[in-house]
Amino acid sequence: MATSNFVPCPGPAERPARMGLPALALLLAARLLHTQASPLARSFQVDYENNCFRKDGAPFRYISGSIHYARVPRPAWRDRLLKMYMSGLSTVQVYVPWNYHETLPGVYDFTGNRDVEAFLDLTAELGLLVILRPGPYICAEWEMGGLPAWLLWKPDINLRTSNPAYLAAVDSWLHILLPKIKPRLYQHGGNIISVQVENEYGSYYACDYGYLRHLLGSFRALLGSEVLLFTTDSTGVEELRCGTLQGLYATVDFGPGSNVTEAFGAQRRVEPKGPLVNSEYYTGWLDYWGEAHASTSAAWVSRGLEDMLQLGASINMYMFHGGTNFAYWSGADYKDQYKPVTTSYDYDAPLSEAGDPTEKLFAIRTVISKFQPLPFGPMPPATPKYHPSLSLQYADLLDVLDVLCPSGPVQSQFPLTFEALKQVHGFVVYHTQLPWDVRDPATLDAPPHSICDRAYVMLQKGTLERDRQTMLHITGRAGDTLDILLENMGRISFGANASDFKVRGEGPEAPEGMVPLSNWLIYPLAIDTAVQQGWPHTALPKSSSGGRVGPAFYTGTFDTPGIAWDTFVKFPGWSKGLLWINGFNLGRYWTRRGPQQTLFVPGSLLHVGHPNNITVLELEGAPPTPVLLFLDRPLYNRTLGCNTTGTE
């Protein structure tokens, strides 16, 4: 078993054996005063002398799990939180994605699935404490790490630094968010015991202590002096040097297979006294398109958990329930090349993407039971699943540009970035004409980092892709149309390359031997707006194409069997695209690349008693008979297992 210099807090003082009536009366009076002043008497603090947390003066350690409300449909919040509570967790850890709420500068959305206050109130109702991580940067494999893409409308902005333009946007956001948080702090009668400032800042290139000091001052000014503020970083020396700051309690993150003593020793180098805390103990891992599905054994995870609990550490399991990157919210990493994250954020977590308890959950629950009593009652069961099938009809994307871009195209000599077009997510069509005959195959070349992230060239039905396929050979006659559909696959969420501009247009200076194409008509597509308004079911045009190759929409309807159950959609023979059901964007599929082969459909999205509309945007090529299947479980085409001896 791992050893440590951790010294547990002493327990409460023993009660005297005898108590006279006057002493009893004084005790009752004191308890009455304590009860009357309980909101003010509540406290959550670090006990540096005894290396632990103290909650209301008593020694305390938390066993927590991460859940992201933005990745879980609101009707399922209670189910997931109840299962976490019944697993023995005292606490949940929650990110607040800035870009999920401030969708445009000064435009805020806290309704429906974005109602973070309702989510926090539900955690309190269910008896769970909260560790809040409001950023402003969160990573989380979320689009641009939670930072709004509209920050990039100022091309010279420096993200996550003391850059004045960036700090002004951060301050404006914190003045909206943190006043909603303050009444829910534990000291004010709420259930939020601690608040993280930034996230893994030591892994960012800037190492800007002025930025961290600015955030510390803002959080203190808006939340008060009593709330426990903390940081989280990996255990590397450089990461802890740049990511920590006096006045912020330093915690670490590491996964199973790490040497627990060495990992907590890293925390002790920057935080010699106080509780041991692993703020992200990895129960699994994320998936990237084109790589194997990550899987971590229950035995490996539970053994590491038990080792840490033996040391008296406080632990948050990341993730306990991962959920789904609906719509365009999945981010990307950059590790030698651009690596977009899959739509599923299952994470091989104890609660599956659909919220079903797994073998890993019960193994973790058994470990927790060795250290504290479990809640009384059964674990809520897995939800029932539904599996019909349906066929679809289609229309080419280029035939419906008037619907998808009702304001008409933007004219430009050279291609404009998504940011210049103020297009946050999704797709843009770039249209021009060949200036002369191209009888011999000519190279259509995209300079490095100019295609961000995937382009569908509709002259010869080819594809350009960031860091992979950057040139095509084309032929044609003068005046032939060259249409390129560019897809934003998600902005980078981790590392130094956070300023992830989509498209870099070639200016007047072209590489030697190359002639830049010019005179572009640019169509920023508002596909989600059209689908939410009932298109294409209200007006499906006839296709001008004779084949099912290239970007096209497919539509159909289906009925539920009298009850709306969760399900998974399978795409047999399809390639890559997006799926909407009843106007809700369920996210990207990419069956040709994998590993994810299905998309999760929450039952709360489905209609009972009247047809459900389904819309597919297939980008590369649908099967001859376009059929979708509904399954009762997810499918992956490749799985990478982490065994008990492996390391991450």
pLDDT tens, residue by residue, 102-134? 999 999 999 999 999 999 999 999 999 999 999
Complete DSSP assignment for 68-106? -GGGS-GGGHHHHHHHHHHTT-SEEEEE--HHHHEEETT
Bigger pLDDT: 648 vs 354: 354
pLDDT, residue 443, reads 77
How confident is the model over 402-411, as a mean pLDDT?
96
Place 409 in a pLDDT band, splitting at 50, 70 and 90: very high
255 vs 25, 232, 238, 252, CA distance in Å? 52, 14, 19, 10
Place 24 in a pLDDT band, splitting at 50, 70 and 90: very low
> Cα(421)–Cα(452) distance, rounded to whole angstroms?
14
- Cβ-contact 620, 592 below 8 angstroms: yes
> Is the pLDDT confidence value at 543 over 70?
no
Using a 10 angstrom Cβ sphere, with 0-12 exposed, 13-18 middle and 19 or more buried, the burial of residue 64 is: buried
pTM value is 0.90
How confident is the model over 346-358, as a mean pLDDT?
98
Q: Which amino acid is at 257?
A: G
pLDDT, residue 462, reads 85
Residues recognised as catalytic: 200, 280
- Report the candidate in 551, 554, 583, 585 with the shortest Cα–Cα distance to residue 571: 554
- Cβ-contact 348, 295 below 8 angstroms: yes
Place 47 in a pLDDT band, splitting at 50, 70 and 90: very high
> Is the pLDDT confidence value at 466 over 70?
yes
Place 452 in a pLDDT band, splitting at 50, 70 and 90: confident
Q: What percent of the chain shows pLDDT beyond 70? A: 86
pLDDT, residue 545, reads 55
> Is the pLDDT confidence value at 450 over 80?
no
